[in-house]
Structures are given as C-alpha cells and as structure tokens.
Amino acid sequence: MAAISSPWPGRLAFAVAGIAFAMIVAGAFVTTLEAGDSVPDWPLAYGKIIPRDELSGGVVYEWGHRAVGAVLGLAALVAAVLVWRSRASRGVKVLAAAALAALVCQGLVGGLRVRFVSSPEVRSTFSSPFGGEANASAVLLGVTMVHAALGQTVLALFVALALVSSLRWNAGGSAVPAAGSRKLRRLAVLTTAFVFVQLVLGSYVRHTGEWVLVHLAWAFVVAAVAMLLSSRSLEDEGTPPAVRRPAAALGVAVVLQVLLGLAAWMVSPANLESGAPPPAWSAIVRSAHVALGAAILAITVALTLAIFGKVAPEGPLEAAGP
C-alpha cells in the first residue's frame, strides 16, 4: 500500500490548516466590526493590490482578511502539489484536490459577495432567478452563509489532510481493537455533523441577529453529544494516544466554548441598553467565540479520523456489523 515517506506534505498541510483557522478568525473580526463592505471591488482593493492610501478603519480589517486568504491560497496550492507528487494513496490525493477546490470556491463566493453589494449589474444578475431585486437581501444572506460554511469546510478538509499525510499517521501500527468501536465511530460522525451545523447557525445569528434561542438551545445539544464522545473515547485505558489527546482537548474546549458563548451573548449589541455602544473588548469576546467554535470543529475532525484509523472493531460480530 502506498504511503507518504516525506514529512513535508503533512507539515505544509498542517500549516495550511493553521492559516485557514487564521482566515476564520480574521473573518470573525470583519463581521463583528461590520467591516465586510469596506472595500467595494474584488479581487483588487480600490484597484490596487495594497491600497496604501485607503488603509484605515474597516478597510484595514477587510484587506487584512483578503491578505490572509491570498497566503492561504498559495500555501494550499503548494501543499496539494506536494501531496500529489508524493507516494500518498489515491484517497489522500483526492482529499487534497477536494480541499483545494473547496478553497477556490470559497474565494469565488467571497468575491461574489463583495461584487453583489457594490455592483448593481451583478446584484441584478444573481437576484433575477430568485424573484429579482425585491429579494436581493435574501440572496445576499444566502451567499454570505455559503461563504461562511465553505470556510469551515476548508478548515475541516485541511485538518484531515494534515493528519492523513503526516509521517506519524502513515508510520503508525495497526489499529487497536476496542469494544463498542462501531458505536464510537457513529457518535464521532454525528458529533462532527452537529458541530458543523452549530457553526452555520452561529454565522446566521451573527449576520441577522435572528434565531438566537435556536443557536443557544442547539449549543447545549452539541455540548452534550461532544462531551459524550469525549468521555467514551477516554474510558478505555487501551485507547491509543492519537485518540486520547483530541478526546481530552474536545472536552476542555466544549466547556470553555459554552462559557464563552454565554459571555458573547451577554455583550452582544442586542442585549445592551438601547443606544449603548458595546464595550471595546466585546469584539474580542465575540470573535473568540467564533475562533473556538472553529477549533472545536478541527478537534472533532481529528478525533473522528483517529477513531476510524486507530481503533478497530473488537470481535467478529462487531467487525461484521449490521
């Protein structure tokens, strides 16, 4: 079976995952500070690569977000090429292609959002299939939500690529048999899906101010499922470290996220006295809530892959499955 023998594909994929995380954090600050429409054109900014004369206020945050995206795109391309040129399996190479494709799509959707706001022609073209200009706001929200969801997808895919292209993963021994591993696998997949849905819900709340109670209620469902996954992954002393480490990290991160989410809700503009500006540090709290949510997705993806790759069904009946 083909295996990666060089450390560089995994190292660079890990770096790309880190940049993708930074991209989400930068985007969180752009949204929190309402700087998303500060630059009217794309892919340039005021017709320049670096708009030195306009770099103030919201332009700084929006252009910074784009700059991180440019670095991310270049690094992702190099990482994908390294994986394709390596002895990686076909599945890993397909994963690299999917991650790069998702990133390209995210960039294009982000550019579409900018042009949708600033260009009447673009707005009319993309609104016409959905009822015309009367529904332009709904179409813009849809584009924004797709952009946010793709950002999380890119992070998840590159975390997965970093893991399966690493030397540690490829040099690891056979999977350790464990009772109940099939149920643990299902729980891991379910938790990952729940976390992703919660992140999309959170994005909707941040952009509209609606569905706050739905987001809060679902948060406790996700927290319960994630804590169950964490505890189940840790209860067997024979569980390999590749599973135990992300499982422990998940438990800690979920507790912190619930507390940070409550803090973010308390300092949101909707909960302050009418007309009172939010404190300066509230942007940090609310953006940190987004960042930790993305980190939880990354941890959950890593844990899920570790459970599938490093834990084997115990016994013939469980191995056969239903």
Determine contact, residues 58/131, Cβ cutoff 8 Å: no
Specify whether 73 is located in the same domain as 203: no
Mean pLDDT of 47-76: 94
Among candidate residues 172, 193, 211, the one where a domain is terminated? 172
- Name the domain boundary from 172, 187, 222: 172
Please tell me whether residues 274 and 214 are part of one structural domain: yes
pTM of the predicted model as reported, rounded to 2 decimal places: 0.91
Q: Which three-class secondary structure state does DSSP give residue 48?
A: strand
Do 213 and 309 share a domain, yes or no? yes
Tokens coding 280: 């300066």
Highest-confidence segment of 16-25, 134-143, 200-209: 16-25
pLDDT tens column, 154-194: 999 999 999 999 988 887 666 666 656 789 999 999 999 99
Structural domain span for residue 183:
176-322
Distance CA 124, CA 120 (A): 6
- Tell me, yes or no, whether 154 and 255 share the same domain: no
> Do 39 and 103 reside in the same domain of the chain?
yes
pLDDT at 266: 81
Secondary structure (3-state) at 277:
coil
Q: What's the half-sphere exposure (Cβ side, CA atoms, 13 Å) at 175? A: 16
Q: What is the pLDDT of residues 248-301, one digit of tens each?
A: 999 999 999 999 998 888 877 665 555 555 566 788 899 999 999 999 999 999
Whether 312 and 215 share a structural domain: yes
Domains of the chain: total: 2
Nearest CA to 290 out of 73, 87, 41, 24 is that of 24
99-109: per-residue pLDDT in tens?
999 999 999 99
Q: 199 and 87 in one domain?
A: no
Q: Are residues 134 and 180 located together in one domain of the fold?
A: no
- Looking at the fold, whether 180 and 113 belong to one and the same domain comes out as no
**Same-domain pairing of 7 and 45:** yes
> Given 118, 144, 172, which residue is the final one in a domain?
172
- 242 band by pLDDT with thresholds 50, 70 and 90: confident
Asked if residue 212 and residue 165 are part of one domain, the reply reads: no
- Helix or strand run (H / E) with residue 93: helix 90-118
